[in-house]
């Protein structure tokens, strides 16, 4: 039985996010977002780089979409920039912003590609951060309004909606570890952000159902279901604590299970839940998006503030220093299927940062990325045969782009971008996808 053998209706896609690829930071009526501000903080982003130009997809989308079509991708996951659509966070809608995404969707459709839109991928308008951002409850109403505008203005051309990308990163990297915008290090604010992100998601889904639109709507998580470093009971408990704090606090409320007892009881942490919130969060969703890259073992650590820490891995690592652990993806999908009762899943991101170079012939021989992708795709094929309800896979990323605090130093694309000229060079991994999608992945 060939390993890379997928059902005919399996969705093959590739993904990006607005701040990472669009550029045109000061065009089309776009206002500043928290990453514009954060990248000006000395030392926050490598080399003080920002998304002002990125890979300039705002002007190169036609060429990018033509290449996606040539490679055989059937769905493009992009994100809508809130500061482009409602520059003042709430209130007046910017027609130029809407027009850009409408044209993008039309171009996708002309090329036989479905439009999968993420409503929020981290570019909060700065004006809303000035009011407290995700730590302040007012963001929920603002997000619901913004999502409502997206549904009303783009509902006829978006084929799949993702409310929010990676709530973990928004709440913890942004408000606890302080390595992402807005760069806050405060557990109380982080827990408030957790709850408001969950509530914003539920509130947007509730609003969506009232529109009568039929495209599926879901959320994308980057779950962490780490293995314990040893068989000691303390390490096993540590792994469960990590899963509860990093993953269950997002997944459980959406699935109607409330906040996990390990977090609210054992760790004694609390969320600003008001009456009716949990019902709003628990709106039925049509699918679950899973972003997976790596996994590290977790052990009990009495000195760590949250009682656990990650331990070194032995596996090969990418340029991010992330170990390649395909089995971690299996752990996640099996666990999610179990807790969700089989809601369809899509891998909405999976990919590898490599040390890519363009050779004299204009080729990029990214063998390590292909090795990584092949291992994960083989596992996906096996899992589907074992009954895991996995419906699609989006490669992260279509093109090299702004990798947040790492600036442009990390290349995740299956297409190389020469940032000086904006010339695109499909890497060997792009042709690997072309073959896998065409059903020739074994060749
Ligand atoms: O680039 C990011 C993306 O924005 C969210 N998921 C992880 C990717 C790689 O770090």
Ligand 1, atom 4, residue with closest C-alpha = 17
- In b/e form, how buried is each residue of 166-178, taking b as 16+ CB within 10 angstroms? bbbbbbbbbbbeb
CA distances from 278 to 146, 318, 330, 343, 362 (A): 21, 39, 29, 19, 53
Which DSSP string do the residues of 39-92 spell out, in sequence order? TTSTTTSGGG--SSSTT-HHHHHHHHHHHHHHHT--EEEEE--HHHHSTTSSS-
Cβ pair 308, 298 in contact under 8 A: yes
Whether ligand 1 lies within 6 angstroms of the CB of 396 is answered as yes
Classify the C-alpha dihedral 305-308-311-316 as positive or negative: negative
Question: How many A from CA of 403 to the centre of ligand 1?
Answer: 7
User: Tokens 């290449």 appear where?
Assistant: 67
**378 counts as catalytic:** no
Nearest C-alpha neighbor of 102 from the set 62, 157, 147, 64: 157
- CA–chain centroid gap for 93, Å, is 25
Whether ligand 1 lies within 6 angstroms of the CB of 153 is answered as no
**442 counts as catalytic:** no
Distance, in Å, from the CA atom of 79 to the CA atom of 147, rounded to the nearest integer, reads 12
* Secondary-structure class of domain 11-437 per CATH: alpha beta
Q: What is the largest CA-CA distance in the chain?
A: 63
Question: How many A from CA of 322 to the centre of ligand 1?
Answer: 12
| DSSP-based three-state secondary structure for 93 | coil
Tokens of 143: 């997000």
The size of the chain, in residues, is: 443
Whether ligand 1 lies within 6 angstroms of the CB of 123 is answered as no
Whether ligand 1 lies within 6 angstroms of the CB of 403 is answered as yes
Question: How many A from CA of 169 to the centre of ligand 1?
Answer: 9
Question: How many A from CA of 89 to the centre of ligand 1?
Answer: 24
Q: Report pLDDT for 440.
A: 86
| DSSP-based three-state secondary structure for 121 | coil
Catalytic residue among 246, 349, 368, 403: 349
Distance, in Å, from the CA atom of 71 to the CA atom of 61, rounded to the nearest integer, reads 15
Intra-chain end-to-end CA distance of the chain, in Å: 14
User: Tokens 């992009």 appear where?
Assistant: 78
Question: How many A from CA of 232 to the centre of ligand 1?
Answer: 33
| 407 CB-near residues (< 8 Å, 6+ apart) | 45, 46, 47, 49
Distance, in Å, from the CA atom of 261 to the CA atom of 102, rounded to the nearest integer, reads 44
Q: Decide the pairing of beta strands 287-291 and 114-120.
A: unpaired
Distance, in Å, from the CA atom of 194 to the CA atom of 9, rounded to the nearest integer, reads 35
Whether ligand 1 lies within 6 angstroms of the CB of 349 is answered as yes
| 22 CB-near residues (< 8 Å, 6+ apart) | 51, 54, 56, 57, 58, 81
Backbone φ and ψ of 427, nearest 5°: -80, 170
Atom number in ligand 1 closest to CA 403:
1
Catalytic residue among 22, 49, 153, 166: 166
In sequence order, the β-bridge partners of residue 221 are: 290
How is residue 269 annotated by DSSP? -
Q: Report pLDDT for 3.
A: 78
Domain boundaries, the chain: 11-437
Distance, in Å, from the CA atom of 94 to the CA atom of 102, rounded to the nearest integer, reads 13
Mean pLDDT, contiguous 10-residue spans, the chain (443 residues):
85 99 98 98 98 98 98 98 98 98 98 99 99 98 99 99 98 98 98 99 99 98 97 98 98 98 96 98 99 98 94 97 98 98 98 98 98 97 97 98 98 98 98 95 71
């Amino acid at each position: 039985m060939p390993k890379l053998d997928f059902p005919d209706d399996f969705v093959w896609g590739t993904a990006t996010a607005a701040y990472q690829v669009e550029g045109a930071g000061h065009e089309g009526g776009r206002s500043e977002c928290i990453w514009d501000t954060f990248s000006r903080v000395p030392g926050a982003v490598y080399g003080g780089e920002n998304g002002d130009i990125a890979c300039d997809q705002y002007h190169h989308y036609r060429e990018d979409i033509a290449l996606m079509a040539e490679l055989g991708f059937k769905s493009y996951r992009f994100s809508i920039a809130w500061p482009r659509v409602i520059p003042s966070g709430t209130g007046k809608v910017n027609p130029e912003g809407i027009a850009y995404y409408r044209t993008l969707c039309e171009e996708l459709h002309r090329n036989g590609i479905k439009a999968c839109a993420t409503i929020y991928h981290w570019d909060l308008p700065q004006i809303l951060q000035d009011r407290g951002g995700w730590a302040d409850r007012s963001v929920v109403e603002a997000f619901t309004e913004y999502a409502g505008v997206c549904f009303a203005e783009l509902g006829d051309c978006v084929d799949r909606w993702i409310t929010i990308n990676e709530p973990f990163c928004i709440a913890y990297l942004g408000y606890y570890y302080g390595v992402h915008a807005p760069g806050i290090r405060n557990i109380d604010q982080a827990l408030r952000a957790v709850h408001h992100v969950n509530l914003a998601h539920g509130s947007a889904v509730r609003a969506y159902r009232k529109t009568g639109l039929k495209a599926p709507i879901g959320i994308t998580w980057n779950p962490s279901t780490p293995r314990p470093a040893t068989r000691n009971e303390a390490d096993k408990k540590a792994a469960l604590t990590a899963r509860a704090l990093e993953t269950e606090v997002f997944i459980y409320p959406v699935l109607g299970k409330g906040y996990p007892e390990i977090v609210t009881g054992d760790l004694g942490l609390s969320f600003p839940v008001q009456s009716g919130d949990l019902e709003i969060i628990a709106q039925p969703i049509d699918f679950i998006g899973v972003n997976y890259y790596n996994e590290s073992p977790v052990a009990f650590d009495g000195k760590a503030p949250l009682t656990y820490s990650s331990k070194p891995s032995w596996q090969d690592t990418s340029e991010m220093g992330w170990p390649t652990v395909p089995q971690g993806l299996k752990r996640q999908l099996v666990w999610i299927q179990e807790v969700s009762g089989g809601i369809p899943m899509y891998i909405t991101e999976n990919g590898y940062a490599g040390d890519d170079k363009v050779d004299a012939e204009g080729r990029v021989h990214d063998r390590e990325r292909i090795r990584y992708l092949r291992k994960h795709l083989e596992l996906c094929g096996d899992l589907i045969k074992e009954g895991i309800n996995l419906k699609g896979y989006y490669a992260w990323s279509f093109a090299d782009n702004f990798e947040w605090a790492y600036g442009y130093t990390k290349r995740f694309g299956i297409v190389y971008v020469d940032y000086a000229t904006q010339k695109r060079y499909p890497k060997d991994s792009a042709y690997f996808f072309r073959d896998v999608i065409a059903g020739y992945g074994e060749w």
